[in-house]
């Protein structure tokens, strides 16, 4: 069964387009990545799932039920971590978590303490005294304390230090092993690649592609820069190379294919410097589907 079914989902804010004709499915037990630059419509899609905004047309179903019509019912089993966390400032962390737990039909005390322990969150502090990263932790605990079947993450790692990010990813993987489906929205390709089985790429409100993360990695572009005084860029003109250009004594290009081939070619040259890096998301959007 598909946990999330999205059909021709469209949302306009007045005349401004939020998303248009978005369709995809998320299967039970998947970690599904949702990637796109800022303003592409990632948050809009998640807010439609949660019934925070109403679709202009099309529909989204979660657990086989319409997001708007059965909103309260399906939200019983959804955990949501917003990209920006805002909570009632005057409350203590514990009070907020208790308030959050009071909406669910189960006892969440034990899980709350467990999660707070893992995330090293001090429950006695007031929320307005917390740093951004610590608030984010409150958001994580708040979103997971009722052991939801579907977890919606909207750029969850911003503001967390690398150590905490690692703990958070482990936590999400555990939840996934327990049976939870994860919908992971991000603009950082790396973390999506690390976590997800499948990924949907969204740009300017439309889905460009949905594909396996494995095939995405196979087709992975590398951004290569070779610096050398007298180098003929034509030497690099082989299959898999795009955007080949010479700039300030360096040859820049994108490469997709067997990395050994390009490594041998570079090692045969007399070079002063070489950088091989992951292209930015924008660069992928510019070149991936040429």
Partner 1 sequence: MNIFKQELKMIRNSVITWSVSLLLMLFVFMSIYSSFADSSAILNETLAQMPKELLIAFGLNSVDMSAVLGYYSFIFLFCQICMAVQASNYGFGLVSLEERDMTADFLLAKPVKRSSIMTSKLLAAFSGLTITNLVVWAGSFIFINLFKAGRSYDTNTLVVLLSSIVIFQLFFLTVGILISLFMKKVRNVTPLSMALAFGMYIVSAFGSMLGDVKLENITPFKHFEPGYMISHAAYNMPLVMISISVIVISVVGSYLLYAKRNILSAV
Instruction: List interacting residues with partner 1 (CB under 8 A).
Output: 13, 38-39, 43-44, 47, 50-54, 71-76, 78, 80, 82, 84, 86-90, 99-100, 102-104, 142
Q: Tell me which residue of 169, 202, 159, 199 sits closest to 183, measured CA to CA.
A: 199
> Closer to partner 1 at the Cβ: 13 or 289?
13
User: In the 8-state DSSP scheme, what is residue 279?
Assistant: P
CA dihedral 91, 93, 98, 103 (to 10 degrees): 80
In whole angstroms, how close is the CB of 102 to partner 1 at the nearest point? 4
> Closer to partner 1 at the Cβ: 103 or 132?
103
Signed CA dihedral, 167, 170, 176, 178: sign only: negative
In whole angstroms, how close is the CB of 51 to partner 1 at the nearest point? 7
> Closer to partner 1 at the Cβ: 30 or 154?
154
> Closer to partner 1 at the Cβ: 82 or 159?
82
In whole angstroms, how close is the CB of 99 to partner 1 at the nearest point? 6
Question: Measured between alpha carbons, how far is 118 from 69 in angstroms, rounded to an integer?
Answer: 36
In whole angstroms, how close is the CB of 87 to partner 1 at the nearest point? 6
Q: What are the angstrom distances between the C-alpha of 67 and each of 49, 207, 219?
A: 6, 20, 35
> Closer to partner 1 at the Cβ: 90 or 247?
90
Q: What are the angstrom distances between the C-alpha of 77 and each of 50, 70, 106, 148, 150?
A: 11, 12, 11, 5, 6
> Closer to partner 1 at the Cβ: 99 or 132?
99
In whole angstroms, how close is the CB of 85 to partner 1 at the nearest point? 8
Question: Tokens 């703990």 belong to which residue?
Answer: 167
In whole angstroms, how close is the CB of 118 to partner 1 at the nearest point? 21
Question: Measured between alpha carbons, how far is 199 from 252 in angstroms, rounded to an integer?
Answer: 28
């Amino acid at each position: 069964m598909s946990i999330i079914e999205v059909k021709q989902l469209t949302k306009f804010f007045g005349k401004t387009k939020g998303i248009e004709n978005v369709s995809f499915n998320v299967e039970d037990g998947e970690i599904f990545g949702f990637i796109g630059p800022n303003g592409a419509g990632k948050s809009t899609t998640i807010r439609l799932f949660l019934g925070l905004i109403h679709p202009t047309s099309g529909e989204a179903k979660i657990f086989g039920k319409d997001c708007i019509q059965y909103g309260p019912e399906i939200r019983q089993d959804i955990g949501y971590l917003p990209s920006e966390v805002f909570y009632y400032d005057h409350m203590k962390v514990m009070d907020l978590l208790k308030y959050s737990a009071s909406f669910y039909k189960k006892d969440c005390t034990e899980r709350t303490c467990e999660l707070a322990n893992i995330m090293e969150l001090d429950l006695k502090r007031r929320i307005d005294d917390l740093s951004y990263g610590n608030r984010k932790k409150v958001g994580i605990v708040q979103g997971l304390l009722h052991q939801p079947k579907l977890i919606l993450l909207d750029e969850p790692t911003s503001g967390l230090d690398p150590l905490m990010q690692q703990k958070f990813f482990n936590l999400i993987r555990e939840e996934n092993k327990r049976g939870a489906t994860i919908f992971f929205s991000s603009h950082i390709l790396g973390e999506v690649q690390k976590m997800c089985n499948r990924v949907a790429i969204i740009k300017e409100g439309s889905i460009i592609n949905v594909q396996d993360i494995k095939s995405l990695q196979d087709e992975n572009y590398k951004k290569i820069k070779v610096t050398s005084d007298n180098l003929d860029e034509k030497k690099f003109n082989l299959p898999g190379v795009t955007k080949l250009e010479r700039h300030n004594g360096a040859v820049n290009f994108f490469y997709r294919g067997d990395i050994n081939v390009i490594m041998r070619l570079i090692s045969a040259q007399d070079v002063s410097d070489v950088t091989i890096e992951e292209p930015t998301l924008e660069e992928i959007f510019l070149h991936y589907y040429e």
